[in-house]
Structure 1
Amino acid sequence: MRGGNVYEIDALRLLVTVADTGSFTKAAQRLNYTQSAVSRRIASLEQRAGGALFERLARGVRLNPAGHALYRHAVDVLDRLARADRELSMIREGLGGTLRVGAFSTANISLVPTALREFGRTAPDVEVVAVEGRSGALLRRLADGALDLAVVSDYPAGLPPVDGVTTALLLEDEVLVALPRRHPLAGAGTVDLYALRDEAWLQDAPADRPMMLTEVCARAGFRPRKTVRIAEWTGKFGYVAAGLGVALVPSLAAWAVPDEIVLRRIEGLAPRRAVHVALPATPLPAALRFCAPLREAATGSAA
């Protein structure tokens, strides 16, 4: 083989077909060529290879040692290309490739896992990479091309506009109040937050961020006398269960609440937050396919 030669895919496919059929004539019939065209193309291929690839017999042809060597490589190349075509087709249909899904913490408790479980049944060959973060950061990563889809919330200060990103409402998530099971108001159907004005309230955001807690308590007619900053939901639930405070909890987190805690609706105009699915301007087919089970999971969460 002469260094620097590049073999055309069609020529390699022709080589394999001639070798498999043992005949220029049969190969021509299989590939819808004329026999003279096959002869010319094989001669050109042999010129590129630097010598004969076939032994010409009285009836048909067979590979010589050089032909056998090139045949093995040709079969490997054609197989790799066929697998590449299948993989690309799967990606175009949303059934293959990688899907990078971002979500805020409470969406990862039940909403997103439920959708991913169903998605895995219908698109098992898609590799899902899950990323957790705050909604603003997820939207920026989506715009930067680091995510393919994100589940975001308008809490605490609305969704910032991000160029190249579109959002669609998934559900309205009601905010509840979490109380220890032994709390005097734990048995109430709804709770007037004013009755909790002397409780310690658990929150996680830095002091310079706008807080739903501040707004909700102000609407109920008081300011919390004490706040305890706990970053993770598991920590908040631990403090509430121990009777060290109460907390606002979105209904999406209800599945993870331990038995020592009860969730109660807030009397009056219950606070809600909107949960959206966000996509880039040109979404991956797998991302579009994932939207269907995500909406089904959202419907179940909102029920």
Structure 2
Amino acid sequence: MLNPVHLRTLVEVVKTGSFAEAARRLGYTSSAVSQQISAFERAVGVTLFEREAHSIRPASAALLIADRGAELLAAFDGFEHEVKAMVQGLRGRLRIGTFPTASSRVVPRALARLTAELPGAEIRLDEGEPEYVLPLVLTGELDLALVYAYDLVPRTWPEELTVRPLLDEALLVMVPERHPAAKSTLRLEDLRDERWIASRDGTSGATCLTRLCASAGFAPRIAFRSNDYEVVQSLVAAGVGVALVPALGYKALSGTHAMPLRSTPLWRHVHVVHRTANTNPLLRDAVNALHQVCENAVGEYITPP
């Protein structure tokens, strides 16, 4: 019979790539981790790691077991917590993932509703871009997550997920207040020679900007990068460049002017996702709270989906 303690150790070793680092995270000695892995190998009847003088390399069997094992351990942890909550008279636990701009504009009000309606529930929050939180939803480490997709950077959703639209936000071009392009009939071509401020290379926001400019016949000259839209807007206010900012990340800032593209309006679409098989009874409450908050968030640059 497989030992769940040994399974957890194997998952951590694969994740960290090191017996020593896995031992540090789990609170074991390196020797104890090595012994647990050896016991696991005897139980399954196959060598799981290639051991070298100063490194280890997981075999394909170890990768497969770790992938499935992480999901099983997350489900077991959730079940264990539900049992404890039942015994202690609590209402359960909900683990939410979100991206930074939703963290400031949407999630706080949704959490306020949830904590008022479910005072006994334990709610945990994790923050990251969709590429970070989506795998955590799939493995069961998060119950649900807020994610986004740009018009020019569409996403495909794993079939295990239920995906519900929450809101659509316009993409706004931000320029310094006295910039010649600060007019209602802005054309992207007017910004061909500008320095741009973008999110980090490889992000959906940066890819959207590159594709948008390519459609207008030029490549953006990116001078600065930041995933913090407050930093991006401060750089625009300082006059060092222009930027493309989603409405949830936009705050009216002195010294700047923001407007959507009139000829080709673009949107970022916000969704809430969860595993269809997730039976957490708090999911419905959380999704309802998010929908109610997003309905009230509708404004000049934010619309229902």
Q: 1:297, 1:208 → 2: CA distance?
A: 27
Is 1:137 equivalent to 2:135 in the alignment?
A: no
- Cα 1:220–1:302 change in 2 (3 A) is farther
Of the candidates 72, 88, 93, which is equivalent to residue 98 of structure 1? 93
Q: 1:85, 1:226 → 2: CA distance?
A: 56
Q: 1:207, 1:158 → 2: CA distance?
A: 14
Q: 1:189, 1:212 → 2: CA distance?
A: 22
Equivalent residue runs for 1:35-114 within 5 Å: 84-85=86-87, 87=89, 96-114=91-109
Mapped contact 2:167–2:294 kept (Cα < 8 A): yes
Q: 1:218, 1:211 → 2: CA distance?
A: 11
Of the candidates 150, 155, 174, which is equivalent to residue 145 of structure 2? 150
CA deviation vs aligned residue, 1:92-111 (integer Å, no higher than 9, x gap): xxxx2221111112211202
Count how many residue pairs are aligned between Structure 1 and Structure 2: 214
Partner of 1:179: 175
Is 1:220 equivalent to 2:212 in the alignment?
A: no
Mapped contact 1:193–1:266 kept (Cα < 8 A): yes
Is 1:300 equivalent to 2:296 in the alignment?
A: yes
Of the candidates 119, 131, 151, which is equivalent to residue 114 of structure 2? 119
Q: Tell me, which stretches of 5 or more residues in structure 1 are unaligned?
A: 1-80, 91-95
Moved over 6 A (4+): none
Partner of 1:5: none
Q: 1:262, 1:300 → 2: CA distance?
A: 25
- Cα 1:263–1:301 change in 2 (3 A) is farther
Structure 2 length normalisation: TM-score?
0.63
Once the two structures are TM-superposed, the CA of residue 86 in structure 1 deviates from its matched residue by 6.6
Q: Which amino acid aligns with 2:126?
A: V
Mapped contact 1:172–1:273 kept (Cα < 8 A): yes
- Cα 1:207–1:125 change in 2 (3 A) is closer
Is 1:275 equivalent to 2:274 in the alignment?
A: no
CA deviation vs aligned residue, 1:143-197 (integer Å, no higher than 9, x gap): 11110110001237333433522211112221111122232333x2342121111
Q: Secondary structure at the match of 1:154?
A: strand
Q: Which amino acid aligns with 1:140?
A: P
Is 1:167 equivalent to 2:163 in the alignment?
A: yes
Q: Which amino acid aligns with 2:115?
A: G
Q: Which amino acid aligns with 2:218?
A: F
CA deviation vs aligned residue, 1:84-135 (integer Å, no higher than 9, x gap): 4572xx5xxxxx2221111112211202222222222222322221111111
Q: Give the structure with higher Rg (CA).
A: 1
Mapped contact 2:198–2:222 kept (Cα < 8 A): no
Mapped contact 1:177–1:264 kept (Cα < 8 A): yes
Q: 1:232, 1:86 → 2: CA distance?
A: 41
Mapped contact 1:190–1:264 kept (Cα < 8 A): no
Q: 1:195, 1:178 → 2: CA distance?
A: 13
Q: Secondary structure at the match of 1:295?
A: helix
Equivalent residue runs for 1:196-211 within 5 Å: 196-206=191-201, 211=207
Larger mean Cα displacement after TM superposition, 198-207 or 143-152: 198-207
Q: 2:115, 2:254 → 1: CA distance?
A: 30
Q: Secondary structure at the match of 2:269?
A: strand
Mapped contact 2:106–2:294 kept (Cα < 8 A): yes
Partner of 1:54: none
Partner of 1:236: 232
Partner of 1:248: 244
Once the two structures are aligned, what percentage of the paired residues are identical? 31
Partner of 1:289: 285
- Cα 1:257–1:148 change in 2 (3 A) is farther
Q: 1:109, 1:103 → 2: CA distance?
A: 10
Q: Which amino acid aligns with 1:147?
A: L
Q: Tell me, which stretches of 5 or more residues in structure 2 are unaligned?
A: 1-82, 300-305
Q: 1:277, 1:301 → 2: CA distance?
A: 15
CA deviation vs aligned residue, 1:245-270 (integer Å, no higher than 9, x gap): 1111111112x453333321112121
